[in-house]
A and B are shown apart, each in its own frame.
Chain A
Amino acid sequence: MTKVLVVDDSNSIRDMVSFTLKSAGYETIEAKDGQDGLSKAQSDGFDLVISDVNMPNMDGITLCQELRKLSSFKFTPILMLTTESSGDMKQRGKAAGATGWLVKPFNPEKLLATIKRVVR
Chain B
Amino acid sequence: MSIDLSQFIPTFLEESVEGLELMESSLLELDQESDSETINSIFRAAHSIKGGAGTFGFNDVTEFTHLVETLLDEMRDGRRKIDQDDVEVLLDSVDCMRLMIEAIRDEVTCEDDKIAQTSILLEKTLAISSHDSNKSVAADSDKIDESARTALCWQIRFIPQHHLVQTGNDPLLLFNALSDLGELSVFAKTDDLPSLSDMDAEELYLTWKLELISDCSEEDIKEVFEWVEDECELIIEQKPQGMVVNENVVNVNEEEELPSDKLSNEIIPSSGEKTLETKTNDSEKVATKAKPEVGSIRVGVDKVDGLINLVGELVITQSMLSELGNDFEMSKVERLVSGLEQLLQNTKELQESVMRIRMLPISFAFNRFPRLVHDLSKKTGKEIELIISGEQTELDKTVMEQIGDPLVHLVRNAADHGIESADIRIAAGKPAKGTITLDAYHQGGNIVIEVCDDGAGINRDVIFAKAVEKNLIDAKDVLSDSQVYDLLFEAGFSTAAEITDISGRGVGMDVVKRNIQSLGGRIQVESVHGKGSTFKVHLPLTLAILDGQLVKVGSETYIIPLIAIVESLQVESDLINRVSGDMVLYRLREDNVPVLPIYQLFELSAECKEVDNALLVVVEADGQKVGLMVDDLLAQQQVVIKSLADNYQQVDGISGATILGDGSVAMILDIPGMIALAKKIGKENSPSIIQDSIGENA
Known: A85-B134, A109-B3. A120 touches B51 (CB 8 A): no
- Whether the Cβ atoms of B15 and A12 lie closer than 8 Å is yes
A101 CA to B180 CA, complexed, in Å? 20
Q: Which residues of B contact A (CB under 8 A)?
A: 1-3, 5, 8, 11-12, 15, 40-41, 43-44, 47-48, 50-55, 57, 62, 69, 133-134, 137, 140, 165-170, 173-174, 176-177, 180, 202, 224, 226-227, 230-231, 262, 266, 271, 274, 277-278, 281-282, 285
A9 within 8 A of B: yes
Contacts of A16 in B (CB 8 A): 5, 8, 55
A113 CA to B43 CA, complexed, in Å? 29
- Interface SS of chain B: helix
A120 CA to B165 CA, complexed, in Å? 15
- Whether the Cβ atoms of A99 and B169 lie closer than 8 Å is yes
A99 CA to B1 CA, complexed, in Å? 26
Contacts of B266 in A (CB 8 A): 120
Residue in B3, B52, B166 whose beta carbon sits within 8 Å of that of A13 in the complex:
B52
Contacts of B169 in A (CB 8 A): 77, 99-100, 117-118
Q: Across the interface, name the chain A residue whose C-beta is closest to B278.
A: A24
Q: Across the interface, name the chain B residue whose C-beta is closest to A100.
A: B227
Contacts of A85 in B (CB 8 A): 134, 137, 140
A45 within 8 A of B: no
Choose among B44, B62, B165 the residue with the greatest number of A CB atoms under 10 Å from its CB: B44
A49 CA to B173 CA, complexed, in Å? 16
Residue in B11, B173, B180, B281 whose beta carbon sits within 8 Å of that of A120 in the complex:
B173
In the assembled complex, 8 residue pairs joining A and B whose CB atoms fall closer than 8 Å, in A order, are A10-B52, A16-B8, A56-B41, A100-B226, A106-B51, A117-B227, A118-B168, A118-B169
- Whether the Cβ atoms of B168 and A78 lie closer than 8 Å is yes
Residue in A15, A25, A97 whose beta carbon sits within 8 Å of that of B274 in the complex:
A25
Contacts of B11 in A (CB 8 A): 11-12, 15
- Whether the Cβ atoms of B227 and A99 lie closer than 8 Å is yes
Identify which of residues 4-35 in chain A touch chain B, using a CB-to-CB cut-off of 8 Å. Answer: 9-13, 15-16, 19-20, 23-25
A106 CA to B176 CA, complexed, in Å? 23
A17 CA to B48 CA, complexed, in Å? 14
A107 CA to B56 CA, complexed, in Å? 9
- Whether the Cβ atoms of B8 and A116 lie closer than 8 Å is no
B583 to chain A, nearest CB (A): 64
Known: A19-B5, A20-B3, A117-B173. A13 touches B48 (CB 8 A): yes
- Whether the Cβ atoms of A116 and B52 lie closer than 8 Å is no
Residue in B8, B43, B168 whose beta carbon sits within 8 Å of that of A54 in the complex:
B43
